[in-house]
A and B are shown apart, each in its own frame.
Chain A
Amino acid sequence: MLLKDVESRIRFIQGNEACAEAALAAGVRFFAGYPITPSSEIAEILSKRLPRVGGKFMQMEDEIASMGAILGASLAGTKVMTATSGPGFSLKQELIGFASLCEIPCVIVNVQRGGPSTGLPTAPAQGDVMQSRWGTHGDHPIIVLCPSSVREMYDLTIQAFNLSESLRNPVILLADEVVGHIYEKIELPRPEELRLLERPKPQKDFKGKYLPFAVSHPTQIPRIANFGEGFHFNVTGLIHDVDGFPTDNPEKTELLITRLHEKIESRVREICLVESQNLLDASIVLCSYGATARSAVYAKNEARRVGKKVGLLRLKTLWPFADFIFDELNPNVKTVIVCEMNRGQILREVQRTSRGRFKVTGVNTSRGTLITPEEILKKIESIS
């Protein structure tokens, strides 16, 4: 019996499939998307699976409409997701800002491919790290998670829904072509093992004047109602007061934008997931994320095999940036090598946090293939 249960949960699947499975397990009930390589499998799987659980899938006329439709469905109280890649991610930016400002839970998957423009549709890249942080206009809070394996595509999809719902903020799952398409054996968790979080809502018997965006302390998550439940409230993409109506009052504007940022920044230690290996004695630390981290782990193990004191930091949360991890590195660390398939988007963040305490260098490529362990080992060789 026990064996049968385990067998039924052992699967040999690709990352995109793990993402779709996790979304279903997390309770997604509306997905709107537009076909784009290398993320299309997520839409294809959900188009089959969502109706079977009473959920809905819509292929929209474009990426912008997909984003609009999920926000509408989320406002009506449904857990929602969309998936895309570089060019589509660019198109979604405006409404990602709408979701940030109006605190609408939603999960946006970007399976990164080579860019800019149409770029390399079937090749991996990590060039959207900064876009995932700053793609939409204006100061806005965002959470970006970055998986390195099929299992992690599953776990971080669950985490993306949990953070998005509980904090009422858009969460971006920033995968890459390798993680999206690689096949690995994973054991899916039992439904009862999953800890699922829901969005804060007003009390059902709420009486008096309803203020959807009001909070009782600065880092509280507002209890915004779902549409269609009798609260008769307004949501606007304009800067709004606690009652949900437009304001251009400077103090109220500052208060809102500050609160939105504090919501995330005050919870950095909960949101930032980092895997560290062999940091205690390390003088060189490899810092990596996504598919590239797989090569970094291999290179670190190889280097240690020949006696080099190399450690590893694997970032699973890219934004907010885990400054505290670098602040807490042991004082013997001389160099951090950031390995990423872009021209140094996280490298500059690590430089910022180093404040001269250690040197920061990188293994950076933008050619559409995974960084190899050999390239990283060569870099370690060159500085030790």
Chain B
Amino acid sequence: MKALAELKKYLRLDKFPHIWCAGCGNGIILQSFLRAVLDLGIEQDKLIVASGIGCSARAVGYLNYDTLHTAHGRAIPFATGIKMAKPELTVAVLVGDGDVSAIGASHFIHAARRNIDITVVVFNNQNYGMTGGQNSPTTCVKDYTVTTSYGSIDRPFDLCELARAAGAGYAARSTTYHALGLPKLIADGITHHGFSLIEVITGCPTYYGRLNKMEDGEKMLRWQRDHAVNLKQYQTLSGEEKETKFAIGLLHTAQKPEYSDEYLKLIQKARA
């Protein structure tokens, strides 16, 4: 594992301290992402990181690469354009659950359908933190947010299942509690040639935690520890038990034609 000093060279230290609240898990995901990039030996000039809007979206500002903070929900279309213009670049997207599965949900499933080589890391804190803790498409049923005062009745999305069904070649889930394994899961997603999703369950103690009896970061990490189950173990659970737990690890992988490669073949065909 690389020393922290090594990581610092690739952070924009003049932008610190970061904007995230005490106990927020976003820093763990940012560090894991950077570790994945460095472990893979990706050149500083060859990585583009795009984000949408929200707490998670600010992560790109701390990374000393070419970075792009787009509009709400639109990081994936921007990333698509970048990848098509320069397929030789590694393109990653750091987004929140609300961004990618509500306002940008259509872009998410269509990028998965095309299987374009973009790595999407979702910071899933199950609410909209930046705007004060409203419910998102990943808020659990019965949970409280500032817009679900009587408990949410909306069924949540399973983002990994959504990506798999839409055609993505790689879908994995982890939590900020399982920080040590996270860089590898992200690195494998980047290495996977095609659309890859790494969903990371993270804590928002300020809003989601406070309204759901987990008012500090530690309690949120404990919740993650107690509810995340590795895939093999998850498969042995009864239907009832599955309702209260969620699977982590590599949940889906498949080799499929990658979009920007296919386009280069199309160019050859058109020119023949």
Contact = CB atoms under 8 A, between A and B. Distances in A.
Interface of A: 29-30, 32, 48, 51-52, 54, 56, 58, 60-62, 64-78, 80, 94-95, 98, 227-238, 245-246
A52 B69 CA distance: 33
B64 A61 contact: no
- By Cβ-Cβ distance, the 4 closest A-B pairs, closest first, are A72-B81, A68-B77, A51-B270, A76-B85
A231 B69 CA distance: 16
B107 A238 contact: no
A80 B88 CA distance: 19
Contacts of B50: 72
A238 B84 CA distance: 25
B271 A98 contact: no
Contacts of B107: 61, 65, 68
A54 B84 CA distance: 11
B110 interface: yes
Interface stretch (B41-49, B150-158, B237-245, B247-255): B41-49
A211 to B, nearest CB: 13
Contacts of B194: none
Contacts of A233: 66-67
A94 B66 CA distance: 23
Contacts of B70: 68, 71, 98, 237
Contact of A74 (B76, B81, B89): B81
A52 B271 contact: yes
A74 B80 CA distance: 11
A71 B106 CA distance: 18
A69 B271 CA distance: 24
B110 A235 contact: no
A228 B79 contact: no
Given A56-B84, A95-B71, A227-B66, A64 B61 contact: no
Given A227-B89, A228-B48, A64 B82 contact: no
Contacts of B85: 29-30, 56, 72-74, 76-78
Contacts of A72: 50, 68, 77-85
Contacts of A236: 61, 68-69
B15 interface: yes
A68 B106 contact: no
A30 B89 contact: no
Contacts of B65: 232
Given A61-B106, A228-B89, A232-B44, A73 B266 contact: no
B267 A51 contact: yes
Nearest to B77: A68
Name A's interface SS.
mixed
16 contacts: A32-B81, A56-B85, A61-B110, A68-B80, A71-B81, A72-B77, A72-B79, A72-B81, A72-B83, A73-B84, A75-B68, A77-B86, A227-B89, A230-B45, A232-B64, A234-B69
A64 B74 contact: yes
B223 interface: no
A52 B70 CA distance: 31
B81 A234 contact: no
Contacts of B88: 228
B163 interface: no
A72 B88 CA distance: 15
Contact of A245 (B61, B84, B263, B267): B61
Contact of B46 (A56, A62, A228): A228
A238 B69 contact: yes
A64 B266 CA distance: 25
A202 to B, nearest CB: 13
Interface in B62-114: 64-71, 74, 76-86, 88-89, 106-107, 110
Contacts of B78: 68-69, 71-72, 75
B28 interface: no
B60 interface: yes
B48 A227 contact: yes
B68 A227 contact: yes
B81 A229 contact: no
B38 to A, nearest CB: 15
Contact of A227 (B15, B86, B263): B86
B11 to A, nearest CB: 11
B81 A64 contact: no
Q: Taking each of A32, A58, A80, A238, which has the highest tally of chain B beta carbons within 10 Å of its own beta carbon?
A: A58
Nearest to B15: A245
Contacts of A29: 85
Contacts of A77: 85-86
Contacts of A238: 69
A73 B270 contact: no
A95 B64 contact: no
Contacts of B271: 51-52, 54
Contacts of A66: 77
Given A72-B50, A234-B61, A246-B61, A227 B82 contact: yes
Interface string B47-62: 0101000000000110
